[in-house]
Amino acid sequence: MHWAHKDLLDVSDLSTGDVERIFEAADSFLEINRRPVKKVPTLKGRSVVLFFAEPSTRTKTSFDMAAKRLSADSFSLSKSMSSLTKGESLKDTVLTLQAMNPDAIVMRHGVSGAAQFIAERLNCSVINAGDGWHAHPTQALLDAVTLRRAWSGDFGGKTLLILGDIAHSRVARSNVNLLTRLGVNVRLCAPRTLLPPKVETWPVEVYSDLNKAVKDVDAVMCLRLQLERQQDGLLPSLREYSREYGLGKRHLLNAHGGAVVLHPGPINRGVEIASELADMGESLILDQVESGVATRMALLFLFLTRKDQGGERV
């Protein structure tokens, strides 16, 4: 079965069958990543541009490692190193990159819709590595790969709590979209100032009391608190936020036995999650990082070989 998609802008682009195919490919690449020799020739001769207009450690390094382990050539470009700082438009910057004939551009940008803007103008594949508050599809996919492993492949009937700054989180939006479609019951918990408008229309349960929200859940995903939100007046103080919404060991006592903890990083230890909890056996934070490389290998493989498989541009 060919891969029909040219671009990955959000998880809503993917059917359930597409997601299952990504899971299967990620499983295969996860096994390769655990071998003594981790490099395969699958994408030899292909090239990937990593264009990150926002700072990133995990996502950028993960994509870079994924490309190199598939033997693709990867090239990194940041906003500060590009002609954007000289006043060049985003359109002209990416058209210049395309003229060098890469097979894919992986882009992170602070403006929602930036990935779609360039995807509509480029012939090569565009993979959204996070745009504004809109979407972070590869994070949602790697989170699902991580939970699938923890739950032995069974999402049905499981309950996940997403805790923290929901309003400004592209990770929360993409995870709600994907995990609810896979059958996970998703809860959100945050101060009312950090909940998005019209959250009541989302397919989730919404809480402002962490003690109630965590009851009988199978997993908790903490979100990074952007510290500038305190300056924006959305938080009374970090100490009060940590006291009311910082996840600690005591909260997991009300969750289901074997409940696990996730965090997309970077972590503010002692603010959104207790430091000891981040390092405990229930923490899947480093498993997420491992799944991230395998998931991005799967995505690069599927998108960069779509023409070899007879795929159509959509």
**Cβ proximity of 188 and 164 under 8 Å:** no
Please check whether residue 313 lies inside any domain of the structure.
Answer: no
* Annotated binding-site positions for L-aspartate: 86, 170, 224
pLDDT digits (tens, 9 = 90+) for 62-81: 999 999 999 999 999 877 77
Question: Do 54 and 168 belong together in one domain?
Answer: no
Cα distances from 251 to residues 119, 208, 237, 257, 279, in angstroms, run: 43, 14, 21, 12, 16
* Annotated binding-site positions: 58-59, 86, 108, 136, 139, 170, 224, 265-266
Please check whether residue 95 lies inside any domain of the structure.
Answer: yes
Please check whether residue 2 lies inside any domain of the structure.
Answer: no
**How many domains does the structure of the chain reveal?**
2
Question: Do 156 and 243 belong together in one domain?
Answer: yes
CA 149 – CA 220 distance, rounded (Å): 15
Q: Report residues of the chain scoring pLDDT below 70.
A: 1, 228-233, 309-314
pLDDT score for 312: 45
**Cβ proximity of 295 and 21 under 8 Å:** no
pLDDT score for 85: 76
CA 140 – CA 299 distance, rounded (Å): 13
Question: Do 42 and 66 belong together in one domain?
Answer: yes
Please check whether residue 1 lies inside any domain of the structure.
Answer: no
CA 234 – CA 3 distance, rounded (Å): 43
Question: Do 124 and 242 belong together in one domain?
Answer: no
CA 52 – CA 54 distance, rounded (Å): 5
Question: Do 105 and 200 belong together in one domain?
Answer: no
Please check whether residue 314 lies inside any domain of the structure.
Answer: no
Query: What sign does the dihedral 302-305-310-314 (CA atoms) show?
Result: positive
DSSP 69-113: HTT-EEEEEEGGGSGGGGT--HHHHHHHHHTT--SEEEEEESSTT
pLDDT score for 240: 87
pLDDT score for 229: 63
Crossing angle of helices 137-150 and 170-181, rounded to 10°: 50
Please check whether residue 127 lies inside any domain of the structure.
Answer: yes
Copy the structure tokens of residue 266.
Answer: 């970077």
Question: Do 224 and 297 belong together in one domain?
Answer: no
Please check whether residue 88 lies inside any domain of the structure.
Answer: yes
Question: Do 197 and 79 belong together in one domain?
Answer: no
186: nearest Cα among 168, 207, 170, 167: 207
Question: Do 33 and 102 belong together in one domain?
Answer: yes
Question: Do 153 and 274 belong together in one domain?
Answer: yes
218: nearest Cα among 275, 172, 261: 261
Question: Do 132 and 265 belong together in one domain?
Answer: no
Cross-strand bridge partners of residue 205: 187
Neighbours of 148 (CB within 10 A): 17
Copy the structure tokens of residue 155.
Answer: 């999402």
Question: Do 187 and 266 belong together in one domain?
Answer: yes
**CATH number reported for the structural domain that contains residue 29 in this entry:** 3.40.50.1370
pLDDT score for 87: 77
pLDDT score for 314: 36
Tell me which DSSP letter residue 18 carries.
Answer: H
Question: Do 110 and 224 belong together in one domain?
Answer: no
* Annotated binding-site positions for carbamoyl phosphate: 58-59, 108, 136, 139, 265-266
Please check whether residue 311 lies inside any domain of the structure.
Answer: no
Is the pTM higher than 0.75? yes
Which residues form the domain of 195? 137-284
With residues binned 3-state (H G I as helix, E B as strand, rest as coil), the percentages for the chain, rounded to 5, are: 40, 15, 40
pLDDT score for 309: 64
